[in-house]
C-alpha cells in the first residue's frame, strides 16, 4: 500500500510516533533509552531547528509533538531515528533493527485538536497504567516543564500559537491532564491521530462523543 502524502509546514504542529521492532521492548532499560534519545533530540533542536513541544517515551514506542520552522520533518525524523538506532546498537551490542518501520505523523492545525493531542501524549503512561499521575512519569518532558528535573534539551511546551486551549497555570493544567477521558473519547482521539491530518470522524454514531471533545469544558479552557 502506498504511503499517504505528508503535509510539510512551518506553521502548525505534528504528532509523531514510532514503535520498536515487532513491538518488543527496546533493547536497553527505558532510562538508558531516555538518555540516548534526549541526546539526539538535543542535536535535532540545534542543527535542524526542531521545536519540541512534548516528548514521552514508553517501553516500546514514543510520542512527540513538534514544530518544524524549516519544513523539514523528514530530515529531523530520519536523523533522529537513524542516530538513535546507532546509539542503541553500540550500547546494547546488537545489530537488530531498533524500530519496526518508518515513523508516523499527523498534522495538527487548530487549537482544539492541539489541546487533545497534548493531553493524549502526556496521559499515555496513565492509560498504560504505569504511572498514577502525569507529573510522576520519569520519561516525559512534563517532568522538566513542572520543574521536577532539569531540561536535557530545549522544550517549547505551549509556546506554539495553537496552545490557547491548554491551561496556563500549572496546577490547573495538571488537574486537566490527570482528568481521564471516557473510553470512547480516547478511542476517537487515537483514531484521529492516525490520520495524515488530525480530525475527529464525521459519523453520526460518534456525534455526542465528538461534541463533548469539542466543548470548552472538555478541551481545558479555564
C-beta neighbour count of 95 within 10 angstroms: 6
Which residues make beta-bridge pairs with 54?
Answer: 65
CA angle centred on 126, ends 59 and 101, rounded to 5°: 35
Rounded CA separation 46/211 (Å): 40
Over its length of 222 residues, how does the chain's per-residue pLDDT go in tens digits?
445 556 788 889 999 999 876 667 677 889 999 999 999 999 999 999 999 999 999 988 999 999 999 999 999 999 999 999 898 888 877 666 778 788 999 999 999 999 999 999 999 999 999 999 999 999 999 999 999 999 999 999 999 999 999 999 999 999 999 999 999 999 999 999 999 999 998 877 778 888 999 887 777 754
Rounded CA separation 23/162 (Å): 32
Which residue, 40, 140, 18, is CA-closest to 88?
40
pLDDT given for residue 2 in this prediction: 45
Residue 221: partners with Cβ closer than 8 Å, 6 or more residues away: 165, 167
pLDDT given for residue 1 in this prediction: 42
pLDDT given for residue 46 in this prediction: 97
Return phi, psi of residue 71, to 5°: 55, 45
Q: Which fold has domain 13-215?
A: Alpha-Beta Plaits (3.30.70)
pLDDT given for residue 222 in this prediction: 46
- DSSP letters of 49-105? --EEEEEEE-SSEEEEEEE-TTS-HHHHHHHHHHHHHHHHHHHHT--S-SBSS--EE
Are the C-beta atoms of 44 and 38 separated by less than 8 Å? no
pLDDT given for residue 3 in this prediction: 55
pTM exceeds 0.85, yes or no: yes
C-alpha R_g of the chain: 17
- DSSP letters of 174-208? HHHHTSPPPHHHHHHHHHHHTSSB------GGGHH
Residue located via cell numbers 534519545: 37
Amino acid at each position: 500500500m502506498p504511503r499517504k502524502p505528508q503535509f510539510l509546514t512551518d506553521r502548525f504542529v505534528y504528532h509523531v510516533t514510532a514503535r520498536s521492532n515487532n513491538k518488543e521492548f527496546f533493547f536497553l532499560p527505558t532510562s538508558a533509552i531516555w538518555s540516548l534519545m534526549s541526546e539526539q533530540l538535543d542535536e535535532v533542536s540545534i542543527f535542524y531547528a526542531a521545536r519540541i513541544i512534548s516528548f514521552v517515551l514508553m517501553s516500546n514506542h514514543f510520542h512527540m509533538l513538534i514544530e518544524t520552522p524549516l519544513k523539514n520533518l523528514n530530515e529531523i525524523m530520519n536523523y533522529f531515528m537513524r542516530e538513535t538506532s546507532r546509539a542503541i546498537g553500540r550500547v546494547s551490542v546488537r545489530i537488530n533493527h531498533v524500530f519496526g518501520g518508518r515513523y508516523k505523523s499527523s498534522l495538527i492545525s487548530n487549537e482544539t485538536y492541539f489541546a487533545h493531542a497534548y493531553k493524549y501524549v502526556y496521559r499515555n503512561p496513565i492509560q498504560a497504567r504505569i504511572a498514577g499521575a502525569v507529573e510522576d512519569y520519569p520519561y516525559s518532558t512534563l517532568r522538566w516543564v513542572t520543574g521536577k528535573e532539569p531540561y536535557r534539551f530545549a522544550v517549547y511546551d505551549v509556546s506554539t500559537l495553537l496552545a490557547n486551549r491548554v491551561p496556563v497555570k500549572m496546577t490547573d493544567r495538571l488537574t486537566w491532564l490527570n482528568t481521564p477521558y471516557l473510553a470512547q473519547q480516547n478511542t476517537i482521539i487515537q483514531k484521529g491521530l492516525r490520520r495524515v491530518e488530525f480530525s475527529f470522524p464525521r459519523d453520526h454514531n460518534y456525534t455526542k462523543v465528538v461534541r463533548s471533545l469539542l466543548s470548552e469544558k472538555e478541551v481545558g479552557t479555564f
